[in-house]
Amino acid sequence: MKQLNIGLIGTGFMGRTHANAYRQVNTFFPHAIEPVCKVVCGRSVTTTRDFGARWGWQETTTDWRSLIARPDIDVVDICTPNDSHAEIAIAALEAGKMVMCEKPLAMNGGEAQRMVDAAARSGRPTMVSFNYRRVPAVALAKQLVDEGRLGRIFHYRARYLQDWTINPNLPQGGNTLWRLDADTAGSGVTGDLLAHAIDLALWLAGPMREVTAMTETFIRERHLQDDPATLKPVRIDDACAFLARFANGALGTFESTRYACGRKNHNTFEINGEKASIAFDLEDAHQLQFYQHSDDSLVRGFRTIGVWDGDHPYMKNWWVPGCAIGYEHTFIHQVADFLDGLEAGEKRVPDFADGLATQLVCDAVLESARTRMWQQAT
């Protein structure tokens, strides 16, 4: 069995999801290539050692440059805050590594373009962690669209709602709340949540031509996590809504917020085509709603497909029908797909070029909100 040495950078929430995926992938999705949890890198010595021990990493470091310089590392997996993605990814590609990177790919389109250029120069495989493509019901939606079961697409409607920033006393910045700090995150819900929704939309309905957006920052000042006495203006978008026109003529509506009380990870989409509609809600992740106009009119209606039989995407590798899988499995599927690509010698998506496409839409959305004008999205 060929071993693939992984260097993981980042020990937070995403670091855990990726570490878990490397440990589990070959148990459920056997491959000839075996990922080896070689080195994990974090900012604090003790946290990184604890992480390494808990998740089974052979070595730990606090210096990502030394990790990248090691000849025995094959894949660099970037799970750091957004402002370091470009620097680490470009250095890793220049060192000849394959690169897995958390979303959003970068702080803006310029950075993302430099990452795509570095990937093209190196010729190494890349992947961006838009993990929701790997929910079995979402993969089934893609299959139905690709099989032409919806026909021409008229509408794409997405909402991604959470509520965890509703507390005005929540600080910004630091190790855990960097998503609220524009210097580290680049943007608020646009880069964090809508990036997922945009990636799915581009994958399912094709490129967008233009967008018009509005954003709002509801809590205008927050204390710093690392310096609680200091109150600093909040510069991220707390909420964003935008309209899109797709290249295929479809109309899109997108909404995202972290102030939707009661909504935890309400990532939804509905696609209306000339022959059928499909609808998905991550909070009911095993279900895909499907309505087909050609059904017998006596029994026609939205049907709920329970996407947990062995003939549905990814499910044959898990339990018996009806036994649910969840959020962490999307990251296992992501690594499985990456390994499939390596074994087949084929590219697997979403790669850095896909990450750039989403980044350009995010940039256009934020620019439209700033200028109050329609913006080109490609």
Alpha carbons 348 and 156: distance in angstroms, whole number: 25
Which lies closer to ligand SOE via its Cβ, residue 162 or residue 358? 162
Site for ligand SOE in 209-268 (CB under 6 A): 265
Cβ at position 247, least distance to ligand SOE in Å: 26
Cβ at position 179, least distance to ligand SOE in Å: 6
Q: Is 198 helix (H, G, I), strand (E, B) or coil?
A: helix
Alpha carbons 130 and 134: distance in angstroms, whole number: 8
CA distances (Å), origin 24, targets 84, 216, 243, 331: 27, 40, 40, 10
Number of residues near ligand SOE (by CB under 6 A): 3
Give the Cβ contact number of residue 40 at 10 Å: 28
Cβ at position 192, least distance to ligand SOE in Å: 5
Which lies closer to ligand SOE via its Cβ, residue 24 or residue 265? 265
Binding track over 258-287 against ligand SOE, x by CB under 6 A: -------x----------------------
Q: What is the dihedral of CA 163, 164, 170, 172, to 10 degrees?
A: -110
Residue whose CB is nearest to ligand SOE in the complex, by number: 192
Alpha carbons 157 and 92: distance in angstroms, whole number: 37
Q: Residue 359: which H helix or E strand, with range?
A: helix 352-371
Report the first-to-last Cα separation within the chain, whole angstroms.
Answer: 42
Which lies closer to ligand SOE via its Cβ, residue 74 or residue 199? 199
Q: Report residue 327 as tokens.
A: 């959020």
Which lies closer to ligand SOE via its Cβ, residue 162 or residue 368? 162
Cβ at position 354, least distance to ligand SOE in Å: 16
Q: Does 162 bind ligand SOE (CB under 6 A)?
A: yes
Across the strands, what pairs with 60?
A: 40
Report the largest interatomic distance among the alpha carbons of the chain, rounded to a whole angstrom: 66
SS3 content of the chain, % helix, strand, coil (to 5): 40, 25, 35
Cβ at position 18, least distance to ligand SOE in Å: 12
Which lies closer to ligand SOE via its Cβ, residue 162 or residue 215? 162
Cβ at position 259, least distance to ligand SOE in Å: 12
Cβ at position 162, least distance to ligand SOE in Å: 6
Positions that interact with ligand SOE (CB under 6 A):
162, 192, 265
